[in-house]
């Protein structure tokens, strides 16, 4: 799957855009402002985001910052291209005044985002409008958000989500967070602690100290809790941490056993995970309400990395029962598993897309690592990345973008986060204060 834009062919860029569209099989046409995320190559859609108009000096900085975050969100998708404010012919000084479409057409701004900010009784109020410049019309109706001023970035993300959604027809993913393992120190003395941040790397907060190894955090379906694996009790065990209070408790504790690779079920009441007993690793399910566990696999091979389908009916996992790591799908209560990976190499860390249509995975083949996606029956495998060590995909809430960790070679090797869209385009680093691995993307926040 790839991308194309249906554009208006009325600007100086027409010949170029037309060429791009036809070469990718897309059909250029006039019509509503729209990016169709399907096949082909994309020419990013040019947009303008003037500073949001402030009603006071105190609100002015918010007006500038919010416009910048919106622009960064949109350009970060690879689907949009920002027109520099220095190119603007008209300025937006009144949020309510009519837009001078000709001035925005002249600089080929196909989308125009205007907004107003005000401080009212300690609340920051943000309004915005989205214009389809070449249709001389507003796209959707204006929206207003209000909240504490310190939440201004979230309001910017919500505006950007609305813009993205109106233009692509897909839900957005900007008002979301990522929990990950923050890493420091050399490879043979790596310090790891859990951290959480906005999806774009802002507002980093640490959830554990570096006194124990912590691994692979996973959000609950509502984003309020995080499952992870920690060595704080000696052997690896599964913990659950409340994001708000940062309180944690051990979930699975059996003498002589190790538990790891936990993931919530889609309703947040069950957890699937791996348990190692007597050297053998199988998959179990824990009912959080009553603490009951249920064995889902029973084989002498390694079964790990389980992930539910979004409807809760099936679980994808990895197993080396065939001799090498491969992906399998089984019913959510266990039972016969179908192997779905048949390509060259080894497959691990499967994660079901929140849309239900794809499974992302890590693949190792001939000394290289890849992040890839395949349909849930294993067909249409597509590798999105290649490097010395790419690992651990996690899905954006809209199922269009994947984040993962990339580690570089050698004694000085470091690990950091990247995102890529499911067409394999728009690979870009995600900024973190120090090394970072094991990302997990939250659902959209409320």
Partner 1 sequence: MTYLSKAAMLCAMLALGACSNALGQDDTNAVDLNGTGNFVAGSPGDPTSPAHFQQVVGDRVFFAVDQSTLSAEAQTILAAQATWLLTNSDFIATIEGHADEQGTREYNIALGARRATAVREFLVSRGIPGSRLSIISYGKERPVEICSDEACYAKNRRSVTVLASGLTG
Sites of contact with partner 1 (CB under 8 A)? 186-188, 190, 210-213, 215-216, 231-236, 256, 258, 260-261, 274, 276, 278-281, 302, 304-305, 318, 320, 324-325, 348-349, 362, 364, 367, 388-389, 391-392, 407, 409-411, 413, 438
Q: Smallest distance from the beta carbon of 160 to partner 1, in angstroms?
A: 32
Q: Smallest distance from the beta carbon of 424 to partner 1, in angstroms?
A: 20
Q: Smallest distance from the beta carbon of 423 to partner 1, in angstroms?
A: 24
Q: Smallest distance from the beta carbon of 304 to partner 1, in angstroms?
A: 5
- What DSSP string describes 319-347? E-TTSS-EEEEEETT----EE---SSSEE
Q: 289 vs 411, which CB is nearer to partner 1?
A: 411
Q: Smallest distance from the beta carbon of 259 to partner 1, in angstroms?
A: 10
Q: 131 vs 369, which CB is nearer to partner 1?
A: 369
Q: Smallest distance from the beta carbon of 216 to partner 1, in angstroms?
A: 6
Q: 80 vs 273, which CB is nearer to partner 1?
A: 273
Which residues lie closer than 8 Å to 121 by C-beta, 6 or more apart? Answer: none
Q: 242 vs 320, which CB is nearer to partner 1?
A: 320
Q: Is 141 exposed, middle or buried (0-12, 13-18, 19+ CB in 10 A)?
A: exposed
Instruction: Report the relative pairing of strands 280-287 and 293-295 from DSSP bridges.
Output: antiparallel
Distance CA 66, CA 364 (A): 41
Q: 6 vs 237, which CB is nearer to partner 1?
A: 237
Phi, psi of 235 (to 5 degrees): -80, 155
Evaluate whether 369 touches 415 at the Cβ level (below 8 Å): no
Q: Smallest distance from the beta carbon of 281 to partner 1, in angstroms?
A: 4
Distance CA 267, CA 220 (A): 9
Q: Smallest distance from the beta carbon of 431 to partner 1, in angstroms?
A: 22
Distance CA 361, CA 131 (A): 39
Q: Which residue has the tokens 């959604």?
A: 165
List the one residue out of 285, 263, 282 whose CA is nearest residue 274: 282
Which residues lie closer than 8 Å to 360 by C-beta, 6 or more apart? Answer: 350, 351, 353, 371, 372, 373, 393, 394, 395, 402
Q: 63 vs 392, which CB is nearer to partner 1?
A: 392
Q: 163 vs 302, which CB is nearer to partner 1?
A: 302
Evaluate whether 401 touches 434 at the Cβ level (below 8 Å): no
Q: 49 vs 364, which CB is nearer to partner 1?
A: 364
What tokens appear for 387 in the block?
């490097």
């Amino acid at each position: 799957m790839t991308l194309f834009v249906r554009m208006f062919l009325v600007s100086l860029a027409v010949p170029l855009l037309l060429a791009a569209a036809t070469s990718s099989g897309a059909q250029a046409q006039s019509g509503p402002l729209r990016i169709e995320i399907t096949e082909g190559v994309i020419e990013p859609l040019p947009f303008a985001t003037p500073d949001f108009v402030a009603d006071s000096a105190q609100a002015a900085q918010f007006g500038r910052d919010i416009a910048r975050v919106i622009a960064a969100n949109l350009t970060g998708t690879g689907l949009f291209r920002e027109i520099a404010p220095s190119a603007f012919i008209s300025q937006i000084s009144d949020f309510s005044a009519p837009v001078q479409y000709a001035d925005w057409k002249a600089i080929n701004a196909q989308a125009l985002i205007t907004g107003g900010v005000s401080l009212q009784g300690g609340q920051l109020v943000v309004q915005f409008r989205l214009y389809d410049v070449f249709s001389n019309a507003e796209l959707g109706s204006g929206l207003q958000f209000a909240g504490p001023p310190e939440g201004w970035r979230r309001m910017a993300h919500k505006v950007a989500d609305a813009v993205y959604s109106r233009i692509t027809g897909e839900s957005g993913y900007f008002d979301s967070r990522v929990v990950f393992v923050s890493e420091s120190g050399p490879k043979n003395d790596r310090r790891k602690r859990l951290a959480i941040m906005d999806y774009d790397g802002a507002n980093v907060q640490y959830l554990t100290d570096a006194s124990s190894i912590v691994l692979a955090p996973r959000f609950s379906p509502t984003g309020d809790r995080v499952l992870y694996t920690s060595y704080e009790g000696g052997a690896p065990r599964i913990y659950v941490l409340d994001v708000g209070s940062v309180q944690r408790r051990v979930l699975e504790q059996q003498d002589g056993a190790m538990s790891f690779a936990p993931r919530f079920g889609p309703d947040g009441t069950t957890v699937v995970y791996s348990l190692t007993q007597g050297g053998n690793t199988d998959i179990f399910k824990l009912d959080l309400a009553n603490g009951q566990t249920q064995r889902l696999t029973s084989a002498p091979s390694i079964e790990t990395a389980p992930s539910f389908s979004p409807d809760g009916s099936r679980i994808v996992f990895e197993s080396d029962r065939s001799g090498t790591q491969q992906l399998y799908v089984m019913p959510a209560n266990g039972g016969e598993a179908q192997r779905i990976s048949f390509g060259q190499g080894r497959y691990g860390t499967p994660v079901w897309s929140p849309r239900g249509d794809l499974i992302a995975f890590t693949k190792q083949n001939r000394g290289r690592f890849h992040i890839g996606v395949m349909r849930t029956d294993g067909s249409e495998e597509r590798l999105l990345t290649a490097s010395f060590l790419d690992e651990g995909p996690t899905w954006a809430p809209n199922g269009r973008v994947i984040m993962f960790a990339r580690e570089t070679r050698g004694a000085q090797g470091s690990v950091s986060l990247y995102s890529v869209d499911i067409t394999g385009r728009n690979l870009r680093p995600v900024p973190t204060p120090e090394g970072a691995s094991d990302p997990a993307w939250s659902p959209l926040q409320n």
